[in-house]
Structure 1
Amino acid sequence: MAEKIRIILVDDHKLVTEGWTALLSLDENLSVVGTANSAEAALDLCLSLLPDVVLMDVNLHNSNGMDATEMICNRIAKIKVIGLSLHDDIAIVKSLMSKGARGYLSKNSSRAELIHAINSVMSGSIYLGENIRDKLFNETFVAKNEDSIKELTLKEIEIVKGIANGLTSKQMAENLFVSVRTIETHRHNILKKLKLQNAAQLSSWSRDHGYF
């Protein structure tokens, strides 16, 4: 049996840490090994327990979640920090990621998405919540490529998201209830509209624009 993913929770509201602990403990692959309510306590706990993942409240009242993230990532590179906040301000997201975080989620996210984010960062990926990805898309893509985005259909945008998340044409076809051939046609049209040469460039473009 594979070892459980060891997690530390950092939040200054006891009800929040207790709630997260209860939710995550329902998954047999996860184990909450400690909780902290400040940047200093979080770093001390990380140094002593060496967890795999830290779920970090960005808006700690008595200290700074940004500073805590930077301290942890600088001292223990193997730890994956996922920021959580009630806010989805892109500036905050970018700042946290620049401190070394591997993910960012809204506190309004579902348990399923939180667990998916944990598994994603453990596999080496960067994970941003769907609402964050949409905002980042609007900021970096819509603003700079207004004419192109007007040409993309909603279906094509869904396919771009699927490609960014590593889905095959068959998987996207099943999710969108269309044929594989339809997906391939959409991919061809997307490449043409975005003036890209191949699927590799499209995957790179998707990552660059926040669809991790």
Structure 2
Amino acid sequence: MSDKISVVMVDDHQVVLDGFMARLVQEPEIEVVGTASNGLEAVEIVGQLLPDVVLMDVSMPIMNGIDATRLICEEHPGVKVLMLTMHDNREYIMKVMQAGAVGYMLKEICANKMVQAIKTVNQGSTYFCESVTQTLFTQEVVPSAQKPNPLSRREESVLKLVAEGHSSKKVAALLGISYRTVETHRQNIKHKLDLHSTAELAKYAIDKGIIH
């Protein structure tokens, strides 16, 4: 039986997975036993491999990292989920913790701290990188009505067309991007806004003056 900490890595960008694996492959106490490119794959692979730790991205197609984390923590409470993401705003962090993750770090983290984070959560503790800790303790909670629009320009363009009733295929044609890219934007928009249906997206777009 190996004494190494078994890790599954989840990210929808292969180059990111390759980069993280390159950081960990030289680490004698850690073994990457599997990878996944979306939340649904992650749930399936974790169920098969039952790793000690999962490094989970947040924004992914098909199923986002927060929903995947919730399922993994419900089905396999012994597996520790450590979020590895570009998002450092308070809302994301709180949602991740509510889903059952035991740690949160940004993708810019150095290799040594990533290894430290994996070891820390594997031992039963929580881990937050410094900038996330600072965000948690220094950001003011802004009332919902005063919150700035969290969407990128491209996401706002997609939201406008979706809210106007266009299909993903039509949105792709109008914006000159792929259907898959539109679907990814839709998932990211829903996740950022914590909305779950096209009707809710339309209401948000009207409320924010994105469509009239």
Same fold (TM > 0.5) = yes
- 1:1-212 equivalences under 5 Å are 3-139=3-139
Partner of 1:198: none
Q: Distance in 1 between matches of 2:68 and 2:74?
A: 10
How far apart are residue 123 of structure 1 and its match? Answer: 1.4
How far apart are residue 124 of structure 1 and its match? Answer: 1.1
How far apart are residue 30 of structure 1 and its match? Answer: 0.3
Determine helix, strand or coil for the equivalent of 1:101. coil
Q: Which runs of 4+ in 1 moved over 2 A?
A: none
TM-score if structure 2 supplies the norm length? 0.64
How far apart are residue 139 of structure 1 and its match? Answer: 3.4
Q: Deviations over 1:54-98 (max 9, x none)?
A: 000011134211100001110000000011111101110010011
Across the aligned residues of Structure 1 and Structure 2, the Cα RMSD in angstroms comes to 1.7
- For structure 1, which runs of at least 5 residues remain unmatched after alignment? 141-212
Q: How many residues align?
A: 141
How far apart are residue 53 of structure 1 and its match? Answer: 0.3
Identity of matched residues, %: 39
Q: Distance in 2 between matches of 1:68 and 1:16?
A: 19
Task: Say whether the 8 Å CA contact 2:57–2:84 is kept in structure 1.
Answer: yes
Task: Say whether the 8 Å CA contact 2:40–2:62 is kept in structure 1.
Answer: no
TM-score if structure 1 supplies the norm length? 0.64
How far apart are residue 2 of structure 1 and its match? Answer: 6.7
In structure 2, what residue type is equivalent to 1:117? A
- For structure 2, which runs of at least 5 residues remain unmatched after alignment? 141-212
